Amino acid sequence: MARQQRFGVLSPLILVVMTTLFLTGCVSRDKEPELKVVTKIEKTIVPVVARPKPVQLNDVKVHVVNEANYEDFVKKFKEENGQLAYVALSMRDYENLALNVAELRRFINQQINIIVYYEDAVTDDKPEESVDNGTESGESK
């Protein structure tokens, strides 16, 4: 019975001592290191892909036919092509077609300039040559 009483008193004492040692062992005497926040601006790297190959257009022949050369045109055309077909444009429609092609060219050149601007913005090195977007020195934009 004495043994049972001795362990009965020691058990809570051992439990208190072990708990105290466990809790004080977790406390560190070293101070926590200070956190330093550094703001660093990094340029986003966007891969620049190669441009598509240039457009290769097929040749188109335009024949101008009027009353004076109509008979000769029909004869030569049937010999060369076999069939005769007509596609007619008025002078005003032909002018509108030319204006539309010029407008498309302007739009494509502006898109190329925008693409070159963004490519230059995401690359670190400066281009050595200026980009030729299809305009020659004698042409107007």
> What average pLDDT does range 40-57 have in this prediction?
78
Q: What percent of the residues of the chain are helix, what percent strand, and what percent coil, each to the nearest 5? A: 50, 0, 50
- pLDDT band of residue 9 (cuts 50, 70, 90) is low
Q: Output the pLDDT for position 76.
A: 92
* pLDDT tens digits, 73-115: 999 999 998 898 888 888 899 899 999 999 999 999 999 998 8
Alpha helices in 1-141 (DSSP H): 2-25, 70-81, 91-122
Q: Output the pLDDT for position 5.
A: 55
User: Cα separation of 32 and 20, whole Å?
Assistant: 23
> Residue 135: is its pLDDT beyond 90?
no
Domain residue ranges in the chain: 70-122
Q: What percent of the chain has pLDDT over 90?
A: 23
Q: What is the pTM of this model?
A: 0.47
Residue 71 CA, chain-centre distance (Å), reads 56
First-to-last C-alpha distance (Å) of the chain: 111
Non-local (6+) Cβ contacts of 141 within 8 A are 106, 109, 135
- pLDDT band of residue 71 (cuts 50, 70, 90) is very high
Q: Which two tokens stand for residue 44?
A: 């986003």
